[in-house]
Structure 1
Amino acid sequence: MTAIQSAKILIIATNGFEQSELEFPRDQLRVKDATVHVATLDGNAIKGWEGSDWGRDASADLKIADATPEDYDALVIPGGQINPDLLRVEKDVLTLVKAFHDQGKVIAAVCHAPWVLIEAGIVAGREMTSFHSIKTDVKNAGGVWKDQEVVADQGIITSRNPSDLKAFVSKIVEEIEEGHHQRQAA
């Protein structure tokens, strides 16, 4: 069991992340006194996507390749279309996601970010949600898709879109405070 005030949370993203889906969890978890780090592919700041154009930069704390699950209680993956599509083809990202999964750590993915979970092979048999346009992708990967603002299954948390972010962050806090999750193989 980990109190949110002593939790360490890793957000992984690259250029094209949905602005609110990185900023809202990062900022709300920090307000709750969690330590939140942002890791990017090259360890440099990244640019978000907001509405129909590029948004604001988000600073980075480290490179994804340098992150280790042992240092964190949870992993958060923002969506948007661009960010998870770029992340899901990166070996370091998939290795990291699988390691968080294998260690029973909380993994939270919103919007299109379940694409990364699909590519990591951790979706089969799990109840999940996502942005509606990738519902078939989740189902084809063996996930049980639900149209709900937040779905948690053995510490894997998913939400549909920016309007679900409040429930998404609340569920992240709840799952971190529950502790490690014993998982059946996907």
Structure 2
Amino acid sequence: MEQQASPRKIAFLVAAEGIEQVELTQPWEALKAAGWQPELLSPESGEVQAYNHLDKGDTFPVDQTVGQARPEDYSALVLPGGVANPDALRMDKDAVAFVRDYMASERPVAAICHAIWTLVEAECVKGRTLTSWPSLETDVRNAGGDWVDREVAIDGNLITSRNPDDIPAFNKALLDALDQ
């Protein structure tokens, strides 16, 4: 029997570098302000390097490696974007397995921008409607998904957005899903 998620924990899954900083920090802060407890997961322990587009941003401490984390311990999963971040995650078997297992839980999964690549790799987009950075449209369609160009696409437990400009709507959709 699957245990229930810890009531207020939210997993943020990122690679060691290449995370788009605002796509990590703004949802993180919105969740904290609403009383949730975000935790940073990554394939490696230590710190991760965020970017402001192509320029290095801040570093952030990893709370737990994804290989040690259990999907059932979290009420939602957030996948920030950045180009290098999801490209690295899709090459990590533990990260891909975590995403695949989490999607099967039917709890909220929120992915923004290029983070959709990790969902494609985890074979979680077939039959789903989602959005992303426009250059991923072909990847989504080739994986059996229906790509749409809108601020937020919600398909069951999956919440997706295109880019940093969509973060306010992305945050609202995630918080609304957690309130259900």
Task: Please report the TM-score for the alignment, with normalisation by the length of structure 2.
Answer: 0.93
Q: Paired residue for 1:102?
A: 104
1:1-186 aligned at under 5 Å gives the runs 6-14=7-15, 15-178=17-180
Q: How many residues align?
A: 173
* Superposed CA offset, 1:73-127 (max 9, x none): 1000110100000001111011101111111121111000000000101101101
CA RMSD of aligned residues (A): 1.0
Query: 2:53 touches 2:82 (CA, 8 Å); kept in 1?
Result: no
* Superposed CA offset, 1:27-70 (max 9, x none): 11101110110011112110111132111111211111111111
Equivalent position SS for 1:134? helix
Unaligned runs of at least 5 residues, structure 2: 1-6
Q: Paired residue for 2:3?
A: none
- The alignment-based identity, stated in percent, is 39
Alpha-carbon deviation of 1:132?
A: 0.6
Alpha-carbon deviation of 1:159?
A: 0.3
Structure 1 Cα separation of the partners of residues 146 and 101 of structure 2? 22
Task: Please report the TM-score for the alignment, with normalisation by the length of structure 1.
Answer: 0.90
Alpha-carbon deviation of 1:8?
A: 1.5
Query: 1:43 touches 1:64 (CA, 8 Å); kept in 2?
Result: no
| Stretch of structure 1 that moved more, 44-53 or 128-137 | 44-53
